Amino acid sequence: MPFVPEGLVNHTKLAQGVQRAARALSGDVVHIYYDLGSDWTGNPSIFFNIVLRDKSAKPNKLREVAHRVALKIQNEAKTEQSGLYAYFNFRSESEHVKLKDPAWA
């Protein structure tokens, strides 16, 4: 099981940052899930699973929306300042409902 040292991350500030980002991005984002752990090289990391509104996940918008969402989350949650590598996965709202993936709940 991956381990992120408790002193490395202020969990309250991290959660508050993610909530601020979610509010600011509410036009595009349905929900932001995240989990702390280590990446494949052992670096402390944060893994974001982001559910986008269907209109924001359309092929002609996805790249711009994903970039804007990732930057906003990183800035609000201060992932780099916490020494965390941030990884992002995106799904549309309809895809999320269809897949019912417990890792995204």
pLDDT tens-digit series, residues 2-13: 445 555 688 999
Model-level pTM greater than 0.85? yes
Residue 92 neighbours by CB under 8 Å, 6+ apart: 51, 52, 53, 54, 57
DSSP string, 19-77: HHHHHHTTTTEEEEEEEEEE-TTS-EEEEEEEEEPGGGSSHHHHHHHHHHHHHHHHHHH
What the chain holds in terms of domains, given with CATH numbers, is 6-99 (3.30.70.1350)
pLDDT tens-digit series, residues 24-79: 999 999 999 999 999 999 999 999 999 999 999 999 999 999 999 999 999 999 99
